[in-house]
Structure 1
Amino acid sequence: MKFKLTLTLLLTSCLSHSAMLNNNGTGEFHIIPLYSTSNNLYSTVTISQIPVDGWRGTAVKIHVKPSLNSEPILSYNVYLTPNDKWSFAVGSQTVGGVRKLIHSSFDNSCTPEFEAVAWENGETDRDISDLTFGYIEVIEMGQFEFNESNPDGVFPIVDYLGNFDCQDIDNAFQTDGVFDSDSTYTNHGLLPANNSLSVESSLINVPEGVQYTVPVTTFSNFFPDDEAFHTRPNSNLPTLNEAKPESLIWLDGMATNLTFENGIDAINALLLKSSLKTPFITFDGIAAATGISLTMPTWAFNENSSQGPSCDAQHTYTFKTRTIDREGKSNPDNSSTHALCGNTTLINLKTERSLFGEVNEQDISPSNNHEGIFAIEFTDVMTITGTDEATDKQYALSGLPVIGVTFNKATNANAAPGLLAQYGVSQAINGRMNISVIDTDKE
């Protein structure tokens, strides 16, 4: 067993130049699969810079993307010094009858051309209810030498007293600055990304005192080697489309490096699932409720996607659901067909007790079953082809590139005064893709 584990670690190390999901949490491209701002919810995010190769800082891009459209409602840059952190929250407020969606942070890391942001009805091309939930991307665009020898003199951003001095970075984006360019990427003084970021996120219901951890999907070795992908603060780039066209997939119990036609397929391969199963509980006696988020971060790059602020049958993937009780019996009365829509779909399993309270969530409340397993089967799947670099063997991978998270809440109505009475738990939903061999001949 020890030999097998050691061999696996060695093989993984040798193949580590490929994009891979990293359960350790450090990487180059991070997806927070849900932010939600209705029903008194606030989403919080903390980004930590982890020095990897010398005393270097990191240039970070943050995209906040709504549920129905892949165009970010906010994109900005943050420049983190070694061991620095950047924390922010996204929530909503109603002032004078007008609901506002708010981004806020009290950190002082360098964020050029960025100010506190609030969106409200009438300020966008659609009602704000389409913006109140979605997902967030945190991207390591590149690293920089954190000292005076930096070739452009931009990144010594802490003065001799340890205070942030961001003026040089601000100036770099002004006219005739080193980042004032018509080029897509402005990489002056930037080194390639090197898996130096760790990201954590939570959903908090402040009035009820409930906090849910949001599992973050992290890709290591995401970008092609020896290249930075640094853009202006208001740029919607980089995206998942910049991924290298190869990924590390577990096949027959072994780490296998597969190459794909493009980077999006490499990321799809890491996320594909043909079905999902997750525990649920909706007992009235403890005011229990279950909510599920299903996020497809590659939605905009797949053929069956819609970039508009609405969904219809022509631009959706369908899925079937059923419930399984505690004795393992499937309830046929709870079988139904539904549609995924846009980047993020929310499912509520208790009509009168929604965790999210979003206008566009789907109500799939099981009848005659208040605890068990909620099963999802994707009926419109995609199939992509990957080639084993070592053997030239081809594999067909099918499923949908979905990140699923379950949120459960319960209340102890008999708790003594002063004791915690609200409970919230969350967990990532695991699933498997379908894999078949296309060509078994070794060339």
Structure 2
Amino acid sequence: MKKNLMSLAVAASVATAATTAQAAMYLDPEGTGQVLLFPYYNAVGTNETYIHIVNTTADAKAVKVRMLEYINSQEVLDFNLYLSPNDHFAFTIFQHPDGDNAALVTMDNSCTVPALGSATGLGGTLEGFVRADGAKVQPFLPYQYQSEYSGLDFDARSQVGHVEVIEMGTLTNEDADSTTAFNPAAYATHDSAGVPANCAALVGAWSSVSATTGTWTSSASTQIGAATGGLYGISNVLDSADAAAFGIEAAAIDSFWAAGASNHTDPGNLKPSLGEGEKSAIITAGADAYTLVYSGTEGGWDAVSALFMSDTVSNDVMLNPVVNGATDWVVTFPTKKAYVNRTTAKAPFSDIYATGTSTKPLTYTGTNLSCETIKLKQWNREESTAVVGIDGPAFSPEPPAAVTPGNTLCLETNTLAMGAAGTASVTNTVLAGTGTEYLPASNLSFKTGEVEGWMRMSFEATTQVLDADSSTKAGTNGASVTANTRLEGLPVMGFAAFKYVNGDRTFGFVSDHKTSTSGSAIHS
């Protein structure tokens, strides 16, 4: 779910708001920006995920690439990527050939620091290596989560998750004509052979050898200019066993950094994070564009959350047995960890990721989970409805139904498997893997033969709200008027993945989630 489609009128309002004195981040309707969020990767068994990061500008760029596991968005691999102008960086996430952890493999020549495949001394399946065909393999690492709590330290935890890409700034040259000057833009730029001119110099800039400190080790901002955006991303989850592919675009946040700003950090640093950008956001609700302003040390997280806030998520369900139909929903909360990795949960989330025994509905024995209440309702193709957890559908219109207790999402990247009534299991899911929760959503209560329709997921808890310090709404003549400051729901992104079989051929396709912008509008 990209939430990047809007009317021309609203797009114009966003553009107007973005150029005012109160600059703010926004989801770019054209799909390019300074930050890219990929809602999902899967490296379970025969699943592989292809990630493409593209620089559409004439600037060389410093970019942080970060993979986060599905339970609590702990980093499993971070590295710095130095893109050439108009560069295209591609890699694949797959299951390690000798272990349960995920790994990255690439034949790409773009400069990374550290060099992918070079990590040694870590032991076993954590060792990087270069294959005989020249592909560089970099395993995902468990260090961020392995000592958290018992029950959640397992290698397969890294097989499912989502990906963040944050531009840290543009590369400039001290003196492009000098062989002794520090010229990172020139070093990162590919030569006629398609290879960076001097990637070793960029690695050296972060190194200290023989008492000589690297240029960036001394000052990370040296020859780093303002972030300019222009990044886009696409991904493709491929199940090689079934020959089914699912294409997904990254959500693009533009004006994430203040005008003229950059934030270049060393490899291995967990910063910059999504919480370090602008503390204001431009969002759309109906035909209106609002600029919401946040404050405090977590104001940046709130601004990113505002971009994805929604009180409902809707999408299709296709389970037709004639074509072996199957449907999975991916529901990712890209900012959740900032609100639950603490002693007291912060709105819009309500349940901390804490110690203690969990009774949450997971497919593994887990502890320390952060769960949010949801409501699920289904419609078949003829408008017959059912509230998930209540046996059988009802004629439309149906009597009001109370929120069904027990429906919760407990992960940061949630995969909901759906099957025909009473049949949901790992064998009939589209994206079967570690991150699959079998909530009541797994057993759709459609009658026999009623196996196609749609479902709505609602976030209706009173705690599921995000309040801004102030808000303005773009007026009809470009003027701003004071508006209310509350967004309802949760910050969510994702998609539905469908698979069906026709003869000896398997087909897969994806539909971005649809959100309720009116229900997610600003309230006092």
TM class, shorter-chain normalised? Answer: 0.7 to 0.9
Q: Which of 17, 24, 33 is the matching residue for 1:18?
A: 24
Structure-2 residue corresponding to 1:434: 520
Structure-1 residue corresponding to 2:309: 272
Structure-2 residue corresponding to 1:366: 444
Letter in 2 for 1:425: F
Task: Tell whether 2:381 aligns with 1:326.
Answer: yes
Letter in 2 for 1:111: T
Give the secondary structure class of the aligned counterpart of 2:112. Answer: coil
Q: Which of 170, 177, 181 is the matching residue for 2:203?
A: 170
Output the CA distance in 2 between the equivalents of 1:90 and 1:166: 23
CA apart distance, 1:250: 1.8
Map 1:148-227 → 2, pairs under 5 A: 148=176, 152-157=182-187, 158=189, 161-162=192-193, 163-164=195-196, 165-175=198-208, 176-181=213-218, 186-227=220-261
Structure-2 residue corresponding to 1:418: none
Letter in 2 for 1:70: S
Output the CA distance in 2 between the equivalents of 1:226 and 1:307: 39
Residue ranges of structure 1 left out of the alignment (5+ in a row): 416-420, 439-443
Of all paired residues, the percent bearing the same amino acid is 19
Change (3 A) 1:129 1:326: same
Map 1:131-142 → 2, pairs under 5 A: 131-142=158-169
Q: Which of 485, 500, 506 is the matching residue for 1:395?
A: 485
Structure-2 residue corresponding to 1:81: 84
Structure-1 residue corresponding to 2:139: 118
Change (3 A) 1:180 1:370: same
Change (3 A) 1:339 1:37: same
Task: Tell whether 2:438 aligns with 1:405.
Answer: no
Q: 1:69 touches 1:309 (CA, 8 Å); kept in 2?
A: no
Task: Tell whether 2:415 aligns with 1:346.
Answer: yes
Give the secondary structure class of the aligned counterpart of 2:73. Answer: coil
Output the CA distance in 1 between the equivalents of 2:101 and 2:388: 41
The alignment's TM-score, normalised by the length of structure 1, stands at 0.87
Give the secondary structure class of the aligned counterpart of 1:107. Answer: coil
Residue ranges of structure 2 left out of the alignment (5+ in a row): 1-6, 118-137, 148-152, 340-344, 346-350, 361-368, 391-403, 473-479
Give the secondary structure class of the aligned counterpart of 1:315. Answer: coil
Q: Which of 332, 336, 340 is the matching residue for 1:295?
A: 332
Change (3 A) 1:284 1:11: closer
Structure-2 residue corresponding to 1:383: 465
Q: 2:84 touches 2:190 (CA, 8 Å); kept in 1?
A: no
Q: 2:47 touches 2:240 (CA, 8 Å); kept in 1?
A: yes
Letter in 2 for 1:282: L
Change (3 A) 1:78 1:310: farther
Letter in 2 for 1:104: V
Output the CA distance in 1 between the equivalents of 2:182 and 2:100: 44
Q: 2:89 touches 2:110 (CA, 8 Å); kept in 1?
A: yes
Structure number with higher strand proportion: 1
The alignment's TM-score, normalised by the length of structure 2, stands at 0.74
Q: Which of 67, 71, 75 is the matching residue for 2:70?
A: 67
Output the CA distance in 1 between the equivalents of 2:102 and 2:312: 34
265-274 or 383-392, which deviates more: 383-392
CA apart distance, 1:230: 0.9
CA apart distance, 1:207: 2.4
Q: 1:305 touches 1:342 (CA, 8 Å); kept in 2?
A: no
Q: 2:285 touches 2:522 (CA, 8 Å); kept in 1?
A: no
Task: Tell whether 2:97 aligns with 1:106.
Answer: no
356-365 or 395-404, which deviates more: 356-365
Give the secondary structure class of the aligned counterpart of 1:171. Answer: helix
Q: 1:412 touches 1:422 (CA, 8 Å); kept in 2?
A: yes
Output the CA distance in 2 between the equivalents of 1:15 and 1:371: 42
Q: 1:21 touches 1:219 (CA, 8 Å); kept in 2?
A: yes
Output the CA distance in 2 between the equivalents of 1:202 and 1:160: 29
CA apart distance, 1:274: 0.9
Output the CA distance in 1 between the equivalents of 2:327 and 2:43: 17
Change (3 A) 1:251 1:320: closer
